[in-house]
Amino acid sequence: MSIPSVDLGEFLSGDPIRKNQFVQDIGKAYEEVGFVSVKNHGIPDELIADLYEYIQQFFSLPIIQKKQYEIKGLAGQRGYTSFGKEHAKGSEAPDLKEFFQYGQIARDHFTDEMYAENVSVKEIPDFDRTLAEAYRAFERSGTALLQAIALYLGLNEHYFDEFVYNGNSILRSIHYPPITTEPVSAIRAEQHEDINLITLLVGASADGLEILSKQDEWVAVTSLPEQIVVNVGDMLQRLTNNKLRSTTHRVVNPARQFWHTSRFSIPFFLHPKSGMSLRCLENCIDSIHLKLYDDATAGEYLDERLREIGLKS
């Protein structure tokens, strides 16, 4: 599927006409599809290449070494989560993946909420540094995209800035191991919607991502070179009372001749601070579009969803 493509450079150009066109293009894409492909996203190619190199090194470690980075009580929000621990909401079947998560290091003596420390990997010297650099790069790009979304929604351009700065965003490195026996299901990661505001996905190492179209058809999505895929999450859907839709997606198994290969994927889940209200925006509610969601904070909603997908008890 050729999902809509936008150029973040247009929004950052300083030209009001080009900036406004970007706002309209991304807003329309999120209303109609829920996914966009973004070029000139500001995340250096060299950093992306390093990131993939080091996460592949990490997942190649023996399981006994990886499991020393699986810390109980962190609900999968930091460090390693072993194969088969997470499942999609409403599904009992575990996803066929393992992952490593890196989170926020709060700045400016931020004390409103406590973030767990990130888990340091000693076997790969540049692993921690690269994750930290990538985290900030994704955060900058995501903030700019949210500024465009704010304008599309009739809000102040910087509406989201204060919530995203020191927010609870997560950089997740995912490994789908080779398939060694006849799989029970054709799905590596069951259909789901993301929890957060928006997700930035830098090109996976193999195909497999599919999105559910408005015609209820599964359509393959392939990342284009030098572009990232960005989709709406459930928090933004709640905030906009379904004006912007969180698109259902999944990861399917490869063709049999590729069962011996791994798939790596690196999404950045852009979360706000836990105290941000997800109360539906007043300008997204009217006599036709009635309020669909109860009021909740981002933290309350995240806690609910982590329990639903098996990462928190």
Options 3.40.50.150, 2.60.40.10, 3.40.50.720, 2.60.120.330; which CATH number does 5-308 get? 2.60.120.330
Q: Where are the domains of the chain?
A: 5-308
**pLDDT of 311 higher than 80:** no
Banded pLDDT at 87 (limits 50, 70, 90): low
Q: Quick one: how far is CA 264 from the chain centroid?
A: 14
Q: How far is residue 121's CA from residue 141's CA, in Å, rounded to a whole number?
A: 26
Cβ 163 vs Cβ 273: under 8 Å? yes
**Span 30-47, mean pLDDT?**
91
Backbone φ/ψ region at 123: left (φ over 0), alpha (ψ -120 to 50), beta: alpha
Report the C-alpha gap between 180 and 261 in whole angstroms.
10
The tens digit of pLDDT for each residue in 240-257 reads: 999 998 989 898 888 888
- The mean pLDDT value for 9-33 works out to 96
Has residue 203 got a pLDDT over 80? no
- The pLDDT score that the predictor gives to residue 186 is 64
* DSSP string over 19-55: HHHHHHHHHHHHHHTSEEEEES-S--HHHHHHHHHHH
Q: Given this model, what pLDDT does residue 86 score?
A: 66
**Per-residue model confidence as pLDDT tens digits over 107-133:** 988 877 778 899 999 999 999 999 999
Q: Greater confidence, 170 or 223?
A: 170
Q: Work out the pLDDT band at 223, boundaries 50, 70, 90.
A: low
Q: Is the pLDDT of residue 148 over 60?
A: yes
Q: Is the pLDDT of residue 46 over 80?
A: yes
Q: What is the pLDDT of residue 97?
A: 87
* pLDDT, greater one: 148 or 92: 148
Q: Where residue 154 falls among pLDDT bands split at 50, 70, 90?
A: very high
